[in-house]
Amino acid sequence: MLTLPIYMDHHATTPTDPRVLEAMLPFFTQTFGNPASRHHSFGWAARDAVETARRQVARLVGCDPRELFFTSGATESNNLVIKGCLAKAPRPAHVVTVETEHRAVLDPCRRLESEGVRVTYVRPGPDGVVDPQDVEEALTDDTVLLTVMTANNEIGVLQPMAALSALARSLGVLFHTDATQAVGKIPFDASELDVDLVSMSAHKMYGPKGVGALCVRRRRPRIAIQALVEGGGHERGLRSGTLNVPAIVGFGAAADICRLEMDDEMQRVGALRDRLWRGLSDRVTGLAINGSVTHRLPHNLNVCVAGLEGETLLVGLDDVAVSSGAACTSAHPEPSHVLLALGLSDEQARASIRFGLGRWNTEAEVDYVVEKVSRLVVRLREMSPA
């Protein structure tokens, strides 16, 4: 039986898995201690739960638990890396990133520029994939940090992480990736990729909001990051503040579920995405996929609908949750900076919508969305003066 409304905006956030919620509940009212309380059993139980979650998340992303620090989310983790790594770096200092990064990377980079740090923004190809040779040409003797997201939050494009990591390693440049959209959705192994720093969030992988992590690989010499928040020395001095134990426990539970079920989920959700694209392309003319078709997250479909405003489509899809871009920029009227970086015109960027399928979407929902979108596009085109 089909239940409305239908949620297909899993890049913005995911529903908390009931199994995750079940794991969290005791830590609100029963095991409620502060993990920093070292002199009684309430604190010890909370501390042990945090360390269990740390091991669970570390196992998912392929790092040592000692390399994992809990934060409030990937935005904080990104800021901690970009600002913290540059805080004491000798000047002149230089950062290299990509034009299609999330605002949680671009905005801290803009802040660094206002403080005298030079930042180079590499443009990807028309498919959204950055060329490692272009990155290599952007790196200089003053480059302190290279930051490239693993999977794009709008077009789902996957970057050549192994090649970029090898490049950064050969030149002695720190390599950071915002892996928020990738972790829990596709295999990601920080050790295998040999990246230095990894940001992630729980709520993108069926965990709770308000908790994330930063992986800081154990290197010699040690990666120097200046803390942005001080006041208690929590998380070994990198991120002070009482730990959100229920959310951290939920993060760990979500990580375990993703690790165990990822292969099957990738196949199932990828098949749904392909069914959605086949249905739409068979019934709607003038559709084009934005970004690489082959180097892409299995649950992402970002399409340009020629001759229409994406926002108009969203209004018409009153019982289907999709989006025209990143949730954090939905209040801004400008066309997507990601799509513009691919070479799309303002009109094409505004005519694009993003579908993000997830764990509980079904074939019946996909078929309903195909029918709904198809009828809506025909009606809107008939009404259009063009």
Contacts of 157 (CB under 8 A, 6+ apart): 100, 124, 127, 128, 129, 151, 291, 292, 295, 296
Annotated catalytic residue 63:
no
Which SS3 state, helix, strand or coil, does residue 214 take?
A: strand
- Spatial neighbors of 91 by CB under 8 A, at least 6 apart, are 116, 117
Cβ atoms of residues 212 and 73 within 8 Å: yes
Pair type for strands 320-321 and 6-7? parallel
Phi/psi class of residue 184: alpha, beta or left (left: φ > 0; alpha: ψ in -120 to 50)?
Answer: left
In sequence order, the 6+-apart residues with CB closer than 8 A to the CB of 380 are 308, 312, 313, 316
CA angle at 233 for the pair 173 and 77, rounded to the nearest 5°: 40
Query: Which amino acid, 42?
Result: F
Q: How far apart are CA 287 and CA 199, in angstroms?
A: 34
- Active site positions, annotated: 328
